[in-house]
Amino acid sequence: MILTVTLNAALDLTYRVPHLVPHASHRVREVSERPGGKGLNVARVLAALGFETAVTGFAGGETGRVLRSLLAADAAPGPPNGPARVTDALVPVSGRTRRTVGVVDESSGDTTQLNEPGPHVTPEEWETFLTAYRELLDGGVRAVALCGSLPPGVPVGAYATLVREARTAQTPVLLDTSGEPLRRGLAARPDIVKPNAEELAGITGTEEPLRAARAAQRRGAHAVAASLGADGMLLVTQDGAWSAAVPERLAGNPTGAGDSAVAGLLSGLAEGLPWPDRLARAVALSAATVRSPVAGEFDEPTYATMLPSVRVRRSEAP
């Protein structure tokens, strides 16, 4: 089983409108709601790829109840050749799970995102989570992803703590966060970190992606996979550096594309694939997610087409 951690889980609401106009009233054409937060998006993509997955983090209040009821539907056994299950291992909190609202402008395909801050987590709730996390690691997890922002009350060094716990359990760990939590998490030596170019520049002080990735390695990461938006992804490891991109830019909704890239890297890590193959899978899944209307899903025909056409090239050190 693969474990994803979403400390600041969310109930994702997506509104679709014909044309988004500031300061105007709109009639919503379509509404969808689903479990959200980066790690939950990663888990759904992993499940679609056939990997049994567990999700943990915090859930509370009426929003948390709705989120967990939607997860329960994902956890129900499907057809033999269908998606794998997503197991709910979320830890209850007294606060209310946040909502995120995405407004899709159908005329342009652009999405406007509104993100609530999340519930306040008490020290006692954090300790309860740590106990549950250790128990999950002891249950034979193949790999773990630590994803997203920290809710109020959670220590800024939380991800560093969780990386160390995974390493103690000899479980490969991927970290996908930003700012000070990423800076501190690097020092705990995660197997992979997956920032975007802006996040990488923010913690290293350099905007050249390859130099910045090397700097992040020196600070503790074994490997750095940097999302470069439409230009694909850069991967720097102890065995070498590669860049990859799809042969054509795809129009659509980029929300969740980075989460699908994490699923590609994590599944490749769990399977022990060579680094270039992990990178190709991550880039193809990311591109296929742009063609999907919501985060946590990817367009399977696009993925099947893109995977063999991803260009993976060796990168020279600057």
Active site (catalytic) residues: 259
Token pair 């590609």: residue: 264
Q: Distance (Å, rounded) from C-alpha 106 to C-alpha 306?
A: 25
Q: Distance (Å, rounded) from C-alpha 71 to C-alpha 50?
A: 17
Within 8 A by CB and 6+ apart from 96, the residues are: 60, 61, 62, 63, 64, 119
Strand intervals (E) in 163-213: 173-176, 192-193
Hey, what are 234's tokens?
A: 């850069």
Rg (CA), the chain: 19
Question: Cβ of 249: how many Cβ atoms within 10 Å?
Answer: 11
In DSSP notation, 2-53 reads EEEEETT-EEEEEEEESS--TTS----SEEEEEEESHHHHHHHHHHHTT--E
Residue 161 phi, psi (nearest 5): -60, -45
Q: Which of 175, 114, 174 is nearest to 143 (CA)?
A: 174
Q: Distance (Å, rounded) from C-alpha 111 to C-alpha 209?
A: 26
Cα angle, residue 119 at apex, residues 172 and 143 outer, rounded to 5° = 10
First to last CA, the chain: 38
Given a contact cutoff of 8 angstroms between Cβ atoms, the answer to whether 212 and 221 are in contact is no
Hey, what are 193's tokens?
A: 């970190």
